[in-house]
Amino acid sequence: MRFPAEPFRIKVVEMLRRVTREEREQAIREAGLNIFAVPADTIYVDLLTDSGTAAMSDNQWAGIMLGDESYAGSRNFFHFQSVVREIFGYEHVIPTHQGRVAENLLFSTILKRGQVVPSNIHFDTTRANIEHQGAEAADLVIDEGLDPYALHSFKGNLDPAKLERLLTDRGAANVPLVMITVTNNSGGGQPVSMANVRAVRQVCERHGVPLFFDACRFAENCYFVQQRESGYANKSVTEIARELFSHGDGCTMSAKKDGLVNMGGFVALNNAEWTQQLTNLLILIEGFPTYGGLAGRDLEAVARGLREVLNEDYLAFRIGQVAQLGELLEHAGVPIVVPVGGHAVYIDARRFLEHVPQSQFPGQALVVALYREFGIRAVEVGSLMFGHKDAGGRDVFPQLDLVRLAIPRRVYTTEHMRFVADSVIQLHREREKLRGLRLTYEAPVLRHFTARLEEIGPAPAAVPDAGRPGHELRSRA
Ligand code: P71
């Protein structure tokens, strides 16, 4: 397939430092084979996350200079509020410094111990904020959404039958709201269809339960609706977004994704009573309601980013760039999750490294090799992140060991993506050389952030380079 070229030109560049394989070998060793502990300036292409890593536009930077840093009533807040109201359609707009604070405000206020919040799949921070209240987070994605190879246009859909069952079993009084995550990050960045949102809305209405969105990647989701769902091809992505949110009562958002900023977030909702409670907590933990933990200039950047992200030339390029990386890998026989989602390509590490058992962290072994050989940073979403011991001390592993290549917005060129594809393909050819890992340190919770590991068996020889002029080739010359 042909994918659109960059619909922007580059006005500011950030040089990347040359780093030799020897330096990377030392950096990853000192990091205890944990990619989170590797200094970012030793990385060539950083695909750790698409969160807070976007390049801002000239228009956003110009907005930064127009920051009004008044403690109360900053003009940038009013601009931000009017843009959020226009796109999302919710009356009350509460700024926060990032998504998890939006979640914390919402769930500390309206959620009670023993209650349950259903979603397609809750993102980690959302689940943690729900569980922190002594409540339960229920993932009700359609069955296809859990199968890495099931082909479905809207694998992020929330199963309305599962929702109906949960509401009937638990009683609507125990479900303060239903959430839909767009796109469904933990399910591979898969979109949710408008038809599904309508179906979920109907179930919610029948039970008298409000519907909220986790709107992090709403523009990417709405672009997929335009491209894939019948009846939407002639609607603008902005119109689709308005329709999507009109089916709900509010949303939380980390603007670090589709807000195209490095920091920011908000809650938007229609319920005035909830707004008052959230605002009281906001003042306690984040700041005055017209800045919510952000500078005036940051609010201006979010306001402008939310408009820019709905530009369809941008979205066609964005979704195309991620799809292209997926296509290059798939054509070369690299096992990836399909269809490719909106913000990342996921490699199936168990199939990639069939000789490395799950107890030896195949995903992390791949992450380490990608960094050591090519200077690419990916992140493991598998047995290191989710594995644990059961009550009897036996190891429990997740079903999948994935490696996520998350693509920052407007940061890397298509040539960078080709370099990533060539590197992964090269590693795939040489996969027998990769060894499993064992833990030498693990924290009791969220161990992947601070774990230390070592390689099992002798240190592997360098994998031959990808045969194109990538960063580490020049550095060796
Ligand atoms: C991602 C992130 C960033 C992240 C956060 C925590 C651990 C590792 C990486 C953040 C999300 C998200 C969704 C759907 C809420 C948040 C939290 N994603 N909902 O994918 O994807 O937003 O970081 O602004 O607090 O790398 P926040």
CA distance 327 to 320: 10
Q: What is the side-by-side strand order in the sheet with 250-254?
A: 92-96, 265-269, 250-254, 211-214, 178-181
SS3 of residue 232 by DSSP: coil
Task: Provide the pLDDT for residue 437.
Answer: 97
pLDDT at 466 over 70: no
Q: Is the CB of 124 under 6 A from ligand 1?
A: yes
Q: Is the CB of 358 under 6 A from ligand 1?
A: no
39 CB-contact burial (10 Å; exposed 0-12 / middle 13-18 / buried 19+): exposed
265 Cα nearest atom in ligand 1: 24
State the pLDDT confidence band at 465, using cuts at 50, 70 and 90: low
Q: Is the CB of 318 under 6 A from ligand 1?
A: no
| CB-CB contact of 88 with 302 (8 Å) | no
pLDDT in tens, 6-46: 999 999 999 999 899 999 999 999 999 999 999 999 999 99
User: What residue's CA is closest to ligand 1, atom 21?
Assistant: 185
State the pLDDT confidence band at 474, using cuts at 50, 70 and 90: very low
Average pLDDT, the chain: 95
CA distance 165 to 339: 28
pLDDT at 200 over 80: yes
CA distance 68 to 296: 5
Task: Provide the pLDDT for residue 473.
Answer: 37
Q: What angle do CA 98, 296, 291 make, to 5 degrees?
A: 55
Q: Is the CB of 296 under 6 A from ligand 1?
A: no
Q: What angle do CA 418, 419, 420 make, to 5 degrees?
A: 90
Q: Is the CB of 382 under 6 A from ligand 1?
A: no
pLDDT at 469 over 60: no
CA distance 468 to 102: 44
Average of pLDDT values for 118-137?
A: 95
The model's pTM: 0.95
CA 22 / ligand 1 centre spacing (Å): 32
CA 124 / ligand 1 centre spacing (Å): 7
